[in-house]
Chains A and B, each alone.
Chain A
Amino acid sequence: MAALTSVGETPLTAPAGRPSGMQARRRKRLNMFRYVVFTVFGLFFLLPLLAMVRFSLEGAKLGTWSVTAWKQIASYSGTGIPPLISSIEITLELAVITCVVMLVLLVPTMIWVRLRVQWLARTMEFLCLLPLTIPAIVLVVGLGAIYNKIQHYSLSALMLFWVYVILALPYAYRALAAGLSAIDVTTLSEAARSLGASWFSVMVRVIAPNMRQAILNAVLLTAALVLGEFTIAYLLLYNNLQVELYSISRNTPNAGVLFSTSVAALLFGFALLMILSYAGRRRRGRG
Chain B
Amino acid sequence: MAVAAATETGARPSRAGRRLSTPAWVGTVPFLAYVAIFLVWPTGIVVVDALKNPNGAWAFSNITELGNPLVRGYFIGSFKLCLLSSLLGAVFGAILAYAVASGDPDGTVRRLYLAVSGVLAQFGGVTLAFAFLALIGPVGLLFHASWFYSFPWGITVIYTYFQIPLMVLVFLPAIDGLKVQWREASENLGASAWQYWRHVGGPLLAPAFLGGLLLLFANALSAFATIIAWENQIAYIVPQQISTALSSEVGLSNVNVADLLALGMVIMVAIVMTGYALLQRRAARWLR
**A interface residues, Cβ below 8 angstroms from B:** 2-3, 6-7, 9-12, 26, 30, 33-34, 37-38, 41, 44-45, 47-49, 51-52, 54-55, 105-106, 108-109, 112-113, 116-120, 124, 127, 130-146, 162-163, 165-166, 169, 224-225, 228, 230-231, 234-235, 242, 245-246, 249-250, 254, 258-259, 262, 265-266, 269-270, 273-274, 276-277, 281
* Closest CB in chain A relative to B86 CB, distance in Å: 15
Q: Which B residue's beta carbon lies closest to that of A266?
A: B127
Report the bound CA distance from A30 to B52 in whole Å. 60
**Do the beta carbons of A146 and B222 come within 8 Å of each other?**
no
Binds A, one of B67-75, B171-179, B198-206, B259-267: B259-267
Binds A, one of B58-66, B133-141, B145-153: B133-141
Report the bound CA distance from A12 to B183 in whole Å. 14
**Do the beta carbons of B142 and A47 come within 8 Å of each other?**
yes
Q: What's the interface size class on B, roughly?
A: 35 or more
Report the bound CA distance from A120 to B9 in whole Å. 10
Report the bound CA distance from A267 to B36 in whole Å. 35
* Known A116-B10, A120-B28; contact A135-B125, beta-carbon cutoff 8 A: no
Determine which of A6, A142, A165 lies in contact with B107 in the assembled complex, contact meaning CB atoms within 8 Å.
Answer: A6
- Which B9-64 residues have C-beta < 8 A from chain A? 9-10, 13-14, 24-25, 27-28, 30-32, 34-35, 37-39, 41-46, 49
Q: Which B residue's beta carbon lies closest to that of A146?
A: B42
The 9 closest A-B pairs by CB, nearest first: A142-B42, A135-B222, A230-B225, A48-B131, A51-B135, A51-B134, A142-B45, A116-B24, A37-B99
**Do the beta carbons of A137 and B222 come within 8 Å of each other?**
yes
**B interface residues, Cβ below 8 angstroms from A:** 6, 9-10, 13-14, 24-25, 27-28, 30-32, 34-35, 37-39, 41-46, 49, 92, 95-96, 99, 102-105, 107-109, 111-116, 118-120, 122-128, 130-132, 134-135, 139-142, 161, 164-165, 193, 218, 221-222, 224-225, 228-229, 232, 239, 242-243, 246-247, 258-259, 262, 265-266, 269-270, 273
**Do the beta carbons of A51 and B141 come within 8 Å of each other?**
yes
Determine which of B13, B142, B224 lies in contact with A230 in the assembled complex, contact meaning CB atoms within 8 Å.
Answer: B224
Determine which of B99, B123, B229, B242 lies in contact with A38 in the assembled complex, contact meaning CB atoms within 8 Å.
Answer: B99
- The interface residues of chain A lying within 8 Å CB-to-CB of B132 are 48
Report the bound CA distance from A279 to B256 in whole Å. 48
**Do the beta carbons of B111 and A281 come within 8 Å of each other?**
yes
**Do the beta carbons of B43 and A138 come within 8 Å of each other?**
yes
